[in-house]
Amino acid sequence: MNEAATSIEQIETVELRIPSKPEWVAVARLAVAAIANRLPFSVEEIEDLKLAIAEACTTCITQSVGAETIDITSDAAPTYLRIRVRDHGFGERREPPPRPRAVPTADGLGIFLIQALMDTVEHKFDPQSGTELIMLKRLASD
């Protein structure tokens, strides 16, 4: 087999759009758990992913102005799961907590928790296009 062909990772993408309301966060948690279950994550890692997605959705809900939906895109690869959570709100919002990871304030506790649970986290804010969180969880290597 061609070496270049074997080095390309197969990525499967699942997209979900939920209303930007707290009662829909459970749907996002269940969807991410089902996706993570298809990869060899441990039960504890799946629970961490569920908590991280809930916090990301809650961050979008509490910080969004005018957003009606939250888009969740999960990219499942053989070595990682990347989850993008985005709202399309606008206007004034709180800025992300300062870096490096400092003692969290009440406003930044959700982001702080996501950073503790995931391998990498990007938190972007644009007053014109909304909030976006990109989280990555790598599979443990043997």
- Residue 35, Cα to own-chain centre: how many angstroms? 13
The token duo for 60 is 């979008």
Distance in angstroms (rounded) separating the CA atoms of residues 125 and 94? 9
12-138: CATH topology is: Heat Shock Protein 90 (3.30.565)
Element (H, E) at 35: helix 25-37
- Residue spans per domain, the chain: 12-138
CA dihedral 116, 24, 21, 96 (to 10 degrees): 10
pLDDT tens for the chain, residues 1 to 142: 445 544 567 999 999 999 999 999 999 999 999 999 999 999 999 999 999 999 999 988 887 778 899 999 999 999 999 999 999 887 554 444 444 444 444 456 888 999 999 999 999 877 777 889 999 999 987 5
